Every structure is written in C-alpha cells, then in structure tokens.
Structure 1
Amino acid sequence: MNRSFHTECFLEEDEEAFSNYVLKEKEFIAKLIARSNAKVVAFKAISDSQNLISLLDYFPTAKGIWIFRHFNDVVNSSLRNFTEHKRYLYIMLFEPEKAGWRLQNVTQENLDLIKKFYKEGIDDASSRALIWYLRNVLFFQQKLDFNQKVILTKYENLVADPEIGFESIFQFLKINMDKKITNTVYATSVRKNTPPEIIPEIKALCENLHQQLISHTNDVTPHI
C-alpha cells in the first residue's frame, strides 16, 4: 500500500508514528493523520492489534485490515528471523512489568494455557505457534467478525492473486488501486519449507483457529 499515490503508510519501525513498534499516543497519531494530504493514512500496527476495537472507537472514520498467514509459515519465518520465542512466554508469565503490549487483553484462560505448556516444557517452534494463536484469537475476542469497519483476509490468497486480493482491499478503503503495487508481490514464500514440529495440542488449537479465520474472510479469491 505504500506504493499507492492515494496512501501514506507508516510501518512499525517508523519512529515518527511508533515507539518500540507500538503506536504512539492516539492524540499524536491524530495529528499525523490531520497533516497528511493522502486519502488514506495507513499504520502497520501489528503490536497494537489487541487494541484495534479501541482504535476504531477513537478514530470514527478508521477501518481495520486484519491479515492472517498460516501458522506453519509464520513459525518457520519467525525461527529464521528471531531468537526469543520461549522468552516471549516467560515474560508474560513471570515478568509482567516487562511484557507491555504482549500481555494486553490476554484472557485468564489463555494465560492458563501458557502456564500449562510452559510447565510441561515447550520448545521454540511450539512457543511461536502458541504466540500465533494468542495474537489471532484476538480477532474474535474483540468481536471483529461482527464489525463492518474491519476486513479479514488470508495472506496466501493475497499473494496468489494480488490484483484481485488488493483490489478488494482498496474497494473496502474506497480508493482506486494502482496496478503497479502488485508488481513485486509473489507467492514464493507460501509453504516454502517443511512444516515445523509443533506440540500436537497446540497444533490443534492453531488449526481450529485457522479454519475459523478462513470461514470469516472477506476474500473473493479461491483459497489456497
């Protein structure tokens, strides 16, 4: 979206809008939006997804785009690019003062789930799969499946047929899509590696949630 003439995008590493990958205060974000000449100002606020409903309430004309990717590919990618997977869960359980956004809006039921697997001895791949579950279950916890201001789309469908996938998103935003934005979108990362070994119980949680998400997508492209 940052290649469109109609949009101005702030990615999570952009220090103008984010502080340590978290959106700055709503009042400051409102000023960034007010000064922009773009039709749509977009924020890649992944670390704020647990607060999407409150953001939509604060910004009355705002819309949300929730994109989910299959947990196997997310786990494989995360294991390559990050190191602290089990540590993420440890902080949530034993150092809540350091957890910050990671602990926001996490239910007691899900905290108990983390405790259970941590106590039993969880590996890095299963830790990252559990994190995928914790982050994406927030979509339903916030009842975003009933919110007309939010669109849910599957990453794999978006990259498999980007012209159709992005067109539906731009229609949702009520702006024209520039065809060139799809020129560098490819599906080569989909199922690129062997599925990781995940604790069966966690894998079942992820599979069930993945199917729930698919059933609520707004995609018009065939599922892959």
Structure 2
Amino acid sequence: MAHDDEPSALAYTARRVARHVRWARTEGIRRLVEEDRLDPVERIGTALAKRRWRRRHGVPPGTALPVYLVGLQRSGTNMLVRGLDTAPQFEVRNENDAQLFHRFQLRPDDRLVETVHRSRHAYVLVKPLCETHRVDQLLALPGLAPGRALWSWRDVDDRARSEVAKFGDANLSALRAIADGTIGGRWQGQRLDAATTELIRELDPVRMDPYTAAALFWWVRNALFFRLALHERDDVLLCSYDALVADPEGQTRRLCAFLDFPYQPRLCAHITRRAPQRRPLAIDPRVRTLCDELTARLDAAATRPAPRVEKMVRD
C-alpha cells in the first residue's frame, strides 16, 4: 500500500537500477537472472503448464487456498517460490506483480481478496514480505478460504551479508528512522512495540555499521514470529532456509504435508544440497546476544513437526 513518504517514481527507478547493477557486480549476471526469474524460456514453459492445468482441473472461483510466504528479505523466499511455481496447481503472485503489489507492497486488501477469489488454481501463493507484520491479519481476511502462511528465516550472518550486498545500508537507514521517529508509515516501522523501539534507540543506529544494522533488523522482524504468537498457530509453518538446503527433499515433504499437497521431486530439484557453513560477522556484541537467543528459539520451533491441518483435496 502506498504511503505519502514514498520516493518519486524517478528516484525509485534510479534506486532499483543501482541495486541491480551492484547485485550483478557482486553476485554475477547469472545469479541476477535466476533471482528475478528473467529466463523467458522458463517463464513461458511455466505459464503454458499452468494454462493446461486450469483447462483440465481448474477449481471453481472462490475456492482457491491463499498461501502467504512471509519473513525477512534475503531469507530464501525466492527459492521456495521457484519450487512451488513448478507445480501448475499454484498461481504465484510474487512481490513484483503489479496487479497485486505497488513497489513491493500489497495494494489494498480488497484487491488481494478479488485476486484470490477469481483464481481457478488450487492455491494462490502470495509473497508480501513487506507485510510480514500483518500475516495474522491476512490470514483472517473476510471473503477468503482459511489460508496458510509460510514464514521463512535464514542464519543471521548469511542473511546480513546477502542484505548488504544487494540493498547496501537500507536496514541501517530504516533503523535510524525508527530511532529518531521519522519512519512514518513505512513498513519497517509497523507493529513495533515500545520496548523494541526503545531498544533500537539504546543500541544507537547512528554509530552502527551496515552489517550490525542488518543483524539487528533481522532480530526485529523475526521476533515478530513469537510476539504475534504465530508459533502457537496450526496455520503457520516456520521454514528454515539452512534446513532446506541441507535436506531439500525432507524439508519439501514437510512443507507439502503442511499444505496438504502431494510431494513432487521437481519442487526441490533446483536446490543444491549443501551443509550450512557458519561464518560469524564482527558485529556489536549486544546485537549478537539478541540474535543468538532468537536463533535458538527459531531453531527449536522450526524442528517441530508440521502442524496438522484440516484435510483438503488438492489434485
């Protein structure tokens, strides 16, 4: 949803171009193409498969199951989207979908309800990362079938490296705006309690380096998982990026069980199995303590069996 403090169209476009140039330089053109799904052959093939499925198996409008993929940027959400998009039962609405998003933020809720309601796919996968703090509200939107949410999280150090490589000091700028009260209606400052805001001020973002800020922002956003009591809900699944790359098949089967969707090897065929490599950054020790404590809580929650949900038929 747009806010009055948004940058102009020209400034926004210039920022995106600069971000893509920096990302291409640091990670390579191939990674950029894969990240943003720019391969036309892959996209056309996926679109045709989905069209065939709608003709043969399309569900009646109003019966699609909304699935919200949330979490913090640079936490492996694109990896999940790429896998689920291979299944024609899924209509995918990524955050660059202009019909549903404006500058990576959801348009008004009635647009979301309308989009899901008219779908003839069994599932509509929506990735509103900037609305992660609203996931409990999205799951309760009137007019939609009871949905599901996937909360993706990643090792704080790896996520901080990836964040700074692609977005520079964006997290640092957001924390400074939260601390000095100029964050306004921007998503980074939404649903923060007084204790979190005061803690950010005490840690003094003005003196932070971008990596410490990225780690602190990781803590701020992922702590919402527990503060919103999502760990107590059966319609939310915590998904660990590190667990997924360590055991693609096992974690994908866990996700499929949660969605009541038959496991297919193609859902994780794009993931290269690898053991997590912990490479701690030199960040503020106070922030490190916060992140270590939250990591332990997330690890414990992510190893629980997938919640048992009401049985659905999703051919």
Aligned: 1:159 with 2:245? yes
Aligned match of 2:105: 22
**Any idea what SS the aligned residue of 1:96 has?**
coil
Matches within 5 A, 1:112-127: 112-118=198-204, 121-127=207-213
- Counterpart of 2:124 (choices 41, 55, 60) is 41
Distance 2:273 2:305 in 1: 17
Aligned match of 1:61: 146
Matches within 5 A, 1:150-189: 150-187=236-273
Distance 2:247 2:193 in 1: 36
> Over residues 4-61 of structure 1, what are the superposed CA-to-partner deviations in whole Å (9 max), with x where a residue is unaligned?
1211111112222111211221111111111212111111111111011111111451
TM-score (norm 2): 0.65
After TM superposition, the structure 1 stretch with the greater mean CA deviation from structure 2, 178-187 or 149-158, is 178-187
> Over residues 52-83 of structure 1, what are the superposed CA-to-partner deviations in whole Å (9 max), with x where a residue is unaligned?
11111114511111111110100111121111
User: Between Structure 1 and Structure 2, whose CA radius of gyration is higher?
Assistant: 2
| Shift in CA distance, 190/17, structure 1 to aligned 2, threshold 3 Å | farther
Matches within 5 A, 1:102-141: 102-118=188-204, 121-141=207-227
Specify the code of the residue in structure 1 equivalent to 2:100: A
| Shift in CA distance, 92/201, structure 1 to aligned 2, threshold 3 Å | same
> Over residues 93-147 of structure 1, what are the superposed CA-to-partner deviations in whole Å (9 max), with x where a residue is unaligned?
33122x5111110111111111111267211111000000001000011000111
Segments of structure 2 that go 5 or more residues without pairing to the other structure are: 1-83, 307-315
| Shift in CA distance, 54/108, structure 1 to aligned 2, threshold 3 Å | same
Segments of structure 1 that go 5 or more residues without pairing to the other structure are: none
| Shift in CA distance, 53/82, structure 1 to aligned 2, threshold 3 Å | same
Identity %: 22
Specify the code of the residue in structure 2 equivalent to 1:96: I
Aligned match of 1:146: 232
RMSD of Structure 2 on Structure 1 (CA): 2.0
Which structure has the higher relative contact order (CA within 8 Å, separation 6+)? 1
Aligned match of 2:284: 199
**Any idea what SS the aligned residue of 2:186 has?**
helix
Aligned match of 1:75: 160
After TM superposition, the structure 1 stretch with the greater mean CA deviation from structure 2, 33-42 or 178-187, is 178-187
**Any idea what SS the aligned residue of 1:66 has?**
strand
| Shift in CA distance, 60/107, structure 1 to aligned 2, threshold 3 Å | farther
Specify the code of the residue in structure 1 equivalent to 2:162: S
Specify the code of the residue in structure 1 equivalent to 2:248: P
Superposition deviation, residue 161 in structure 1: 1.4
Matches within 5 A, 1:89-100: 89-94=175-180, 95-97=182-184, 99-100=185-186
**Any idea what SS the aligned residue of 1:216 has?**
helix
What is the count of residue pairs matched by the alignment?
A: 219
Distance 1:65 1:173 in 2: 10
Aligned match of 2:14: none
After TM superposition, the structure 1 stretch with the greater mean CA deviation from structure 2, 174-183 or 100-109, is 174-183
